[in-house]
Structure 1
Amino acid sequence: MPVAPVEGLGEYRLVIPAVRPELMGCVREIMRAQLRMWRKSQFSDVAELGVTELLTNVLRHAPGGSELLVSETVDGIRVGVTDFDERLPVAGRPMREATGGWGLQLLTDLVDEVGTRVLPQGKEVWFDLRAKGGLAGADE
């Protein structure tokens, strides 16, 4: 479900011309810094893991350009990754001995909501993290 912009809440957009493994650490650092600026560092660990999972899926299944959008919401954040492949991801439970295919299922278990949005040229995969029992800007 699209999140309507709310006056006073921030957005951060990063265009990634080609997703490569060596960029993952840089993107995590950017995510961490942005959440710190918004005083939402409590979401950092899961947000960094989630964005790495989404970008790894782009790397494996939809090579090429991508865009990261991190948005403040009233009670947390939304992280979305857009690519130009129209195939939607499928979260499932791989066989127990499988060495891959677990990422989207693990992400689904860690975040408050996961979704996809079909775009005219590709898709966006997003997840929401919400504050538990308090305001989202709880950094000291």
Structure 2
Amino acid sequence: MALGPGLPSLRQARDRTRGQLAAWGIVEQADTVVLLVNELVTNALCHAPGPVRLNLFLENGILHCEVLDGHRTRPRPGRADVQDESGRGLRLVEALAGRWGSHPVDEGKAVWFELSVSVQ
């Protein structure tokens, strides 16, 4: 799904993710997935030029999420101090996702995570 710029896109990404998870019958991990999607989309909107795209895939109990953006620099988890208001997003992804990473694509990069999910 293509996302527009700014905060409305962040809300759109969360809402569409919740809708897709419900359609797949993923209830138990929905809050975790939405949090992780929120972190990746926020990073893309804050640090990358151009459009952002969110893709969700489900196969054999593994949810794969990727966020594509127009910036080629691969993300690295930050080191946030106690008073810092940002810099923890990828640490959350690292802690909560089964796996995560990034790879180059034609017009930038894709940042992704995988999470084992229960389908009801």
Establish whether TM, by shorter chain, passes 0.5: yes
Name the amino acid aligned to 2:10.
M
Is 1:120 aligned to 2:116, yes or no?
A: no
Name the amino acid aligned to 1:29.
D
Output the CA distance in 1 between the equivalents of 2:5 and 2:59.
Answer: 26
Gaps of 5+ in 1: 1-13
Output the CA distance in 1 between the equivalents of 2:97 and 2:8.
Answer: 25
The corresponding residue for 2:10 is: 24
CA deviation string 1:51-70 (max 9, x = no partner): 11111111111032011100
Q: How many residues align?
A: 120
Structure 2 matches for 1:104-119, cutoff 5 A?
A: 104-119=90-105
What RMSD in Å do the two structures reach over aligned CA positions? 1.4
Of 28, 34, 45, the match for 1:42 = 28
The corresponding residue for 1:5 is: none
Gaps of 5+ in 2: none
The corresponding residue for 2:77 is: 91
CA deviation string 1:22-71 (max 9, x = no partner): 22222211111111111112221111111111111111110320111000
The corresponding residue for 1:15 is: 2
Name the amino acid aligned to 1:15.
A
Of 40, 47, 51, the match for 1:61 = 47
- Note the C-alpha offset of 1:96: 2.7
Name the % identity: 29
Is contact 1:88–1:116 with CA below 8 Å preserved after alignment? yes
Name the amino acid aligned to 1:69.
N
| Comparing 96-105 and 65-74, the one that deviates more | 96-105
TM-score by length of 2: 0.91
